[in-house]
Amino acid sequence: MVCTAYDFDETLIDEGQNFVIATPPNAKQTKMFNASPKPFSKLGDRSGLVFLATELREAEAYAEMNRGSVKEIYVDKSKVGNEKQLLSKIEELGYSTENALAYELIDTRFDNSLKQSEINKVFEALKKDGIMGIEYTDGYSSNWKNN
C-alpha cells in the first residue's frame, strides 16, 4: 500500500464529511483518504502527523479494523515528496536510516523510530524544501485478517 504522512500547516476547509487543503489556484490536487475513528480535527495530536491512504480499499479496510469511517482529503500533489527524499533528508541531518523502514522512522510507536524532536527537525527541513508530505510504501491492510 502507498501511504502518505502529512505535517499540515495549511488551512483545512470543512466540506461536510470531506476536507480540502486550501491550495493555490491551478495546483494539481489528488484525492487521498483517512479512516481513523477520530474526527479530522484530532488527527495528528500525538505526533503532529496525519497518515493518509492513496487507495480507497486500503482506507476501507483500516476503517473496518479500527471502527473508523473513510474521509476524503485533497492535497496539492506538488508538495508530496517520496520515500527517497525522506530518507535522504534524515541522513543529511545526521540520523541513521539503518534497520528501519521509512514509515517506522517517523512514527514513535515503533522502537526503531527517530525521537519526536528529530522527526520534527526532519519535517521542518522538508518544509524548507517545499515538501509538506511524504508518500511511502507500507503493508496492505486490505489483505490483513482480523483474528
Please check whether residue 46 lies inside any domain of the structure: yes
Is 66 a domain residue?
A: yes
In a domain, 22, yes or no: yes
Q: What is the pLDDT along the chain (147 residues), one digit of tens a residue?
A: 444 455 444 444 444 444 445 455 566 788 888 888 887 777 777 777 777 788 888 889 888 988 888 888 888 888 888 889 999 999 999 999 998 888 889 888 889 999 999 999 998 999 899 888 887 766 544 343 333
Q: Range of 67's domain? A: 2-138
Identify the CA nearest to 33 among candidates 14, 12, 57. 57
Supply the pLDDT for residue 32.
84
Residue 38 covered by a domain: yes
Domain count, the chain: 1
Residue 145 lies in a domain: no
Structural domain contains residue 144: no
Residue 104 is assigned to a structural domain of this protein: yes
Q: Has residue 54 been placed in a domain?
A: yes
Report the side by side order of strands in the sheet with 18-21: 12-15, 18-21, 71-76, 29-34, 50-53, 2-6, 133-137, 80-82
- Please state, in angstroms and rounded to a whole number, the distance separating the CA atoms of residues 57 and 42: 23
pTM: 0.69
- Enter the C-alpha cell of residue 131: 515538501
Nearest of 31, 77, 36 to residue 59 by alpha carbon: 36
Q: Cα(121)–Cα(144) distance, rounded to whole angstroms?
A: 33
Strand 18-21 to 71-76 pairing:
parallel
* pLDDT given for residue 9 in this prediction: 41
Instruction: Please provide the DSSP assignment of 58-104 as one string.
Output: HHHHHHHHHT---EEEEEEGGGEEEHHHHHHHHHHTT---TTS-HHH
At 34 the three-state DSSP class reads strand
